[in-house]
Amino acid sequence: MKLTVGKNMALLVATALLGLAMLTALEQYLLEKVYDGANFGNINAVPSLKVLGELRRAFLEVNIQVGRLDYDEDRALRLKIEQRLQTAREQVSDAIRSYETNGCDGGSCFADATDKDWLEREKPVWQKFQSVLEPILAIRGNDAQSVANVHQMLLALDPLSIQLQKMIDGHIDYNMVIARKFSDEAAQTKRGAIQLTLVISAAMLLAIGLLGWLTSRSILSRLGGEPTEAADIASRLAEGDLSMDIRLREGDGNSLMARLQELVDALDRLASRAYAIGQGDLSQEVQLASNQDKLGIAINEMIRMLRGARSEDERRNWLKDGYGQISAALTGDLTTEQLADSAIGMIGRYLDAGRGVFYLYQESEQVLLLIGSYMYTERNHIGASFQLGEGAVGQVARERKPIILEVSNEDVAPIVTGTLLETPRFTYTYPLLHEKELVGVIELSSFERFDDKKQEFLANVGGMLASFLFVAEQRAHIRKLLAASEASEKEMRQQSEQLRESNARMEEQQQLLQQQAEEMQQTNAQMEEAQQLLRQQTEELQQTNAQMEESQQQLEQQNLELDEARRQQEAKARQLDQASQYKSEFLANMSHELRTPLNSIILLSKMMVSDEDGKVEGEALKWAQVIHRSGEDLLRLINDVLDLSKVEAGRMDVHLSPVSSRDLCSELQGMFEHVARDKGLSFTVEDELRRHFVSDPDKLSQILRNLLTNAIKFTRQGGVTFRLSHHPDQPLPIRLSVRDTGIGIPEEKRNVIFEAFQQADGSTSREFGGTGLGLTISLRFAQMLGGTIELLSAPGEGSEFIVLLPEAGAAAEPQPGHAASHPAAAPRPRLDAPGDDRGAVSPGDRIILLIDDDPVFGQMLVGMNRRLGYKTLLAQNGADGLALAGQYRPHGILLDLGLPDMDGAQVLHEIKTRPALSSLPVYIVSARDRDEALLQQGAIGFLSKPAADHLLAAAEATLISAVGSKGGERILVVENGGIRGDEVQSLLGRDGGAIVAAAPDADWPALLRQKPCQLAIIDLGAGPAADALVTAAALREADAAISLVFYADSHPGDEEEAALRAYSDCVIVKAPQAGQRLMENVERFLQDVPRQHAARKTPAAGGDSKLLSGRRILVVDDDPRNLFVITAALERHGAKLFSAVNGRRALEFLPQQPVDLVLMDIMMPEMDGYQAIAAIRADPALAAIPVVAITAKALPAEREKILATGADDYLSKPVDYDVLVAKAAQWCAGRKT
């Protein structure tokens, strides 16, 4: 019988195991014998000797105390001796009892019967000793007879004492003999066991060696060579080396080496095919070695999958390229006709269509009009327009569904080229829908049927065309409405001018009548002096009197006409004021109608661009960015129109304050230098002024930004220069010029460019876009500041715009009928030693620094803070505020923007750029409008004056909490090949926290005890998510309060992502925006989210660490688009959203469901936002709920009206995504979940 390698090895192992088992059993037996012998001494002999030792010691103490009874006659000392004697007697009795009743460590104390016999002999002697001792102790007298009796009894007690003492000593000696006996037996057993073990071990080694030699001989014959050679061949195969030469023995066809040679040949064939696949050759498949050739089958399946993937990638890239070309072709300020022609032409060329038409839907007439075409030939009564339901175009418009037809009629309009006249075979008619509303219809025809790829492109591109068409129509509609408004205003002004001319003519007539009356009076005087002449001229006098009466009647008639003309003039003036009011209301309403859809566009596109889930990539991310930028461009256009309307209505306020030329130059250089450099232009700033002057910093900055933006935009090469100078001999001495080397402006266009919506190049083919409002607003602002703008330009040489301003910054006088601008307060004198707490500051105090030049507000805040337990420092200008901030390092700063020496924005800039002050939190408290740019510069909040006490207290609490959340943070980075600790440190900067880097197999309890961390970033690397889950579980077990962030190279699967989100809601996928998202989430976890909230982020708790987790928010808005985007934005951060379509529904909902916040729209049917907010504040059960108003109206008084109604805060549409979430978190922060 031929044994296999396995059987040989099994025999060898069985022999070894049998010998090992025998040796183990023998050793176990012998060890137990040794143990029993040694253990007896430990368990029995030693405890027995211990108890007997206690017995001997106690009995010796009894003898000592008994001996002292005979010689001591002091009673007090005798009592002590008796007490000690009694204790010793009890110890003797206890030792005897313990030895008898298993008191040797819980076991029997008797070694054998002899041992027990010793105790039985000791007990009666001790009892007799006790009986003799009791009478002695009973004697209490000190007389001679008593002492003699005691002495006599003690002499009788001595023999018993000596007998018992000898018995105890003998008992102890016997136990020691027993102990030595068992110890000797254990040693003898140990020596025998060692000798026997050595003999058996030698026999086993001999048997195993013989079997091993026989087994190795059998294995070598089956290997066909040396094992090292086979191992080397296998190692080279594992490394991919197929070049080895295997030498086989003659006739060797079944050994391992022969099989390896066959494997090398098969792998070489597979490698050749795999190389061809890598070169893109997918034409051939691998020839299978057998039906069980899994590798060959897998490679063939891979080839088939790669073929399908290549086809799918080509299809997807083709679609993306088409969408990108459409977006690029339609971007810009195009009219509806231009957009239609560009769109249908691009689609026709991209799809290889023979003809295309673009129809615009006129809702008022229920008709589709042809506005764009591609290779289209007109035919009588065909194709110019369609009613709903008429033809394929009308039917598609009615059903909102596409129609695809195969044409067989020869009467179809042919496709005409220079060399071809052919009838198309197929037509494709698709509707253009914007938010389910029909905008238009496109139709394409071709000789061949469109494949699925082209049909998919045509179906998806319809939504893009509809959106672009909708925006173009809205832009055209805005221009028409503004043109109509300007025409109406111009007509009113003309009528007013006519009224003034009519009044002037009436005044001239009245003066003429008065002159005639004076002449008549002179005539009467002459008649009195010459009575003779009177008699002669009676008839003439009568005629003169008649003329006078007639003139008087004419005068009275003219007075009546004058009064009527004045009444008409007053009515015209009222109509003019009413027209101005209508214009303002129209602009506000148009702002609402435009901002409402813009709110949805900007919010949703911002959510896609931020891409917190990492699911928007590549072209889709670029499209989202284009949509977001386009929405913001349209918003800026709306804001420019509103600014222009405010200036024309006289409702734009001027806030004068000192302006530093150095700071102005620094601001503009930082803003435009990199823009010019990116365009290849030079940007030069020349400050020849080098001083302060008085003006409105905001409006002046906007003027210069508009001029510099235009200069860079219209300059292809060369550069732009900004110069400040002072000319004291001129009426307007402050001179700010912007000079460029651009295209220049023709002389006939120099006045036109300052008019609204006018440009130097207004053609449809112009190179530079824009609305034409920038220069108009700049000129109006300059005039409001008491100055003007001059222009010097030559075509092809460049232009120079010069802003001329007065020395003292006097604002322009308001126009008649316009509201006057509010004059800016002159700089107040500095007040030294204000009544603050700077003299009472102690270590540990919470300090608030107020930088505000209003002493009344400052003293009010000092009193309020003393009630709150804060110390207050007051600074009445920016310089003092910066000095106090550096000296006292307050917990927070309340900053006003209108300061006498420098603007508050400059103070904020100084604080955030000085390393010693940059960590101080700043809260803006000002009468100016909210400026989001200040928040981006580092301010943590904005509060408008006048501010209620509870709002000021909330702002200060935010400052204190911001300081408490900073400092001492550690961030743990679990490195796994994807992101390193030093990369995280460079992203976060020095103030981002200390970085602790560790490997996934670190000892987390020890590490976190040594270096406690608040946040851990777990890198998934290229490994499975299961490894990261093990690390997360270990971290949470070591520190249940630590927050977790996962960082992955690629997007995990759905199940893996669900498992990761059981520990954290933050799973960041490596993408272009990953670094920014990592910084945002680290800041969120370290500052905004409490650490105990992270402790609930375990699989068992099932919670999450989202910013609004558990918050209940009611959104009140009648527009479903706003409801959708606000709900989507807040639900991303864990909030639970409820909705109501008007104020009445909100009031019905609130008593039934408690909420943490109400977001209230203002313009709603049935009950608007004002009424709803007032009703909430009037209800005691609802009055404590925070209410944030959201409105699209942009009028200046809107904010004051909303806050006066009872709203806690205000958001203007379109709502910024980050501001919306921050506002919701701010007002929910004080509510209990």
CA-closest candidate to residue 939, choices 953, 959, 960: 959
Q: Name beta bridge partners: 719.
A: 682
Which of helix, strand or coil describes residue 49? helix
Three-state DSSP string of 1131-1185 = HCCCCEEEEECCHHHHHHHCCCCCCCEEEEECCCCCCCHHHHHHHHHHCCCCCCC
Asked whether residue 1100 carries a pLDDT value surpassing 50, the answer given is no
Using the 8-state DSSP alphabet, how is residue 786 labeled? T
Domain range summary for the chain, segments of one domain joined by +: 5-221, 255-320, 331-450, 480-625, 657-805, 838-964, 970-1095, 1112-1228
The set of residues, in sequence order, having a beta carbon less than 8 Å from that of 297 and lying 6+ positions away, is 288
Question: Cα separation of 107 and 110, whole Å?
Answer: 9
Asked whether residue 1113 carries a pLDDT value surpassing 90, the answer given is yes
Cβ contact 1151:1165 at 8 Å: no
Higher pLDDT, 781 or 1085: 781
Beta-sheet strand order (sheet of 994-998)? 994-998, 970-974, 1015-1021, 1043-1048, 1067-1069
Q: Count Cα atoms within 13 angstroms, Cβ side, for 1067.
A: 27
Least confident of 218-232, 424-438, 1007-1021: 218-232
Amino acid 649: pLDDT: 59
Percent of the residues in the chain that have a pLDDT greater than 70, as a whole number:
74
Mean pLDDT confidence for 447-471: 86
Mean pLDDT confidence for 749-777: 55
CA angle 53, 54, 59 (to 5 degrees): 100
CA-closest candidate to residue 431, choices 457, 406, 465: 465
Q: Name beta bridge partners: 359.
A: 370, 441
Cβ contact 956:979 at 8 Å: no
CA angle 1142, 1145, 1147 (to 5 degrees): 110
CA-closest candidate to residue 875, choices 867, 863, 866, 883: 883
CA-closest candidate to residue 908, choices 388, 731, 21, 918: 918
CA-closest candidate to residue 1044, choices 966, 983, 1103: 1103
Which letter, b or e, does each residue of 108-146 get, where b requires 16 or more Cβ atoms within 10 Å of its Cβ?
Answer: bbbbeeebeebbeebeebbeebeeebeebbeeeeeeeee
Amino acid 757: pLDDT: 47
CA-closest candidate to residue 1033, choices 1063, 1057, 1012: 1063
207 φ/ψ angles, rounded to the nearest 5 degrees: -65, -40
Question: Cα separation of 774 and 782, whole Å?
Answer: 12
Higher pLDDT, 1097 or 604: 604
Asked whether residue 1213 carries a pLDDT value surpassing 80, the answer given is no
Mean pLDDT confidence for 1100-1114: 66
Question: Cα separation of 446 and 1149, whole Å?
Answer: 58
Q: Which CATH superfamily is domain 657-805 in?
A: Histidine kinase-like ATPase, C-terminal domain (3.30.565.10)
* pLDDT tens-digit readout, 443-453: 999 888 888 88
Amino acid 719: pLDDT: 93
Residue 825 pLDDT class (50, 70, 90 cuts):
very low
Amino acid 847: pLDDT: 92
Mean pLDDT confidence for 654-681: 83
Residue 1150 pLDDT class (50, 70, 90 cuts):
very high
The class that CATH gives domain 1112-1228 is alpha beta
Asked whether residue 696 carries a pLDDT value surpassing 80, the answer given is yes
Q: Where are the alpha helices (DSSP H) in 376-435?
A: 391-399
Amino acid 554: pLDDT: 72
Asked whether residue 679 carries a pLDDT value surpassing 90, the answer given is no
Question: Cα separation of 974 and 981, whole Å?
Answer: 8
Q: DSSP letter string over 612-653?
A: TTS---HHHHHHHHHHHHHHHHHHHHHHHHHHHHHHHHT---
CATH code of domain 331-450? 3.30.450.40
Amino acid 801: pLDDT: 92
Choosing among 3.40.50.1820, 1.10.443.10, 3.60.20.10, 3.40.50.2300, the CATH entry for 970-1095 is: 3.40.50.2300
Question: Cα separation of 805 and 798, whole Å?
Answer: 23
Which letter, b or e, does each residue of 246-272 get, where b requires 16 or more Cβ atoms within 10 Å of its Cβ?
Answer: beeeeeeeebbbbebbeebeeeeebee
CA dihedral over 446, 452, 453, 457, signed as positive or negative:
positive
* pLDDT tens-digit readout, 363-409: 888 899 999 888 876 654 456 889 888 888 889 989 889 999 887 66
Mean pLDDT confidence for 194-216: 77
CA angle 1160, 1162, 1168 (to 5 degrees): 100
Residue 70 pLDDT class (50, 70, 90 cuts):
low
Amino acid 358: pLDDT: 92
Sequence letter at residue 498: Q
Mean pLDDT confidence for 226-236: 75
Question: Cα separation of 1037 and 1029, whole Å?
Answer: 12
Mean pLDDT confidence for 469-489: 78
Cβ contact 608:616 at 8 Å: yes
Length of the chain (residues): 1233
Residue 832 pLDDT class (50, 70, 90 cuts):
very low
The set of residues, in sequence order, having a beta carbon less than 8 Å from that of 291 and lying 6+ positions away, is none
Question: Cα separation of 582 and 587, whole Å?
Answer: 8
* pLDDT tens-digit readout, 781-792: 888 888 999 989
First to last CA, the chain: 81
Torsion from C-alpha of 1036, 1039, 1043, 1044, nearest 10 degrees: -40
Block residue for tokens 């204190």? 960
Give pTM, 2 decimals: 0.33
Which of helix, strand or coil describes residue 3? coil
530 φ/ψ angles, rounded to the nearest 5 degrees: -120, 80
Asked whether residue 413 carries a pLDDT value surpassing 50, the answer given is yes
Residue 958 pLDDT class (50, 70, 90 cuts):
confident
Asked whether residue 735 carries a pLDDT value surpassing 70, the answer given is yes
Higher pLDDT, 977 or 1099: 977
Q: DSSP letter string over 333-389?
A: S--HHHHHHHHHHHHHHHTT-SEEEEEEEETTTTEEEEEEEES---BTTBSSEEETT
* pLDDT tens-digit readout, 1188-1199: 998 765 555 677
**970-1095 and 1112-1228 share one fold:** yes
1230 φ/ψ angles, rounded to the nearest 5 degrees: -85, 0
Sequence letter at residue 254: N
Measured between alpha carbons, how far is residue 665 from residues 72, 124, 1104 in Å? 113, 118, 48
Q: Is 569 exposed, middle or buried (0-12, 13-18, 19+ CB in 10 A)?
A: middle
Characterise 422 by phi-psi region: left (phi > 0), alpha (psi -120 to 50), beta (else). beta
* pLDDT tens-digit readout, 517-530: 666 666 556 556 65
* Helix, strand, coil percent values for the chain (each to nearest 5): 55, 15, 30
Mean pLDDT confidence for 996-1021: 86
Residue 47 pLDDT class (50, 70, 90 cuts):
confident
Report CA 1109 to chain centroid distance, whole Å: 14
Asked whether residue 823 carries a pLDDT value surpassing 60, the answer given is no
Asked whether residue 187 carries a pLDDT value surpassing 90, the answer given is no
Question: Cα separation of 1060 and 1049, whole Å?
Answer: 14
Choosing among 3.40.50.2300, 3.90.1310.10, 3.30.450.40, 3.30.530.20, the CATH entry for 838-964 is: 3.40.50.2300
Asked whether residue 804 carries a pLDDT value surpassing 90, the answer given is yes
Amino acid 881: pLDDT: 92
Mean pLDDT of the chain: 77
Residue 1080 pLDDT class (50, 70, 90 cuts):
low
Question: Cα separation of 1080 and 1088, whole Å?
Answer: 11
Asked whether residue 826 carries a pLDDT value surpassing 50, the answer given is no
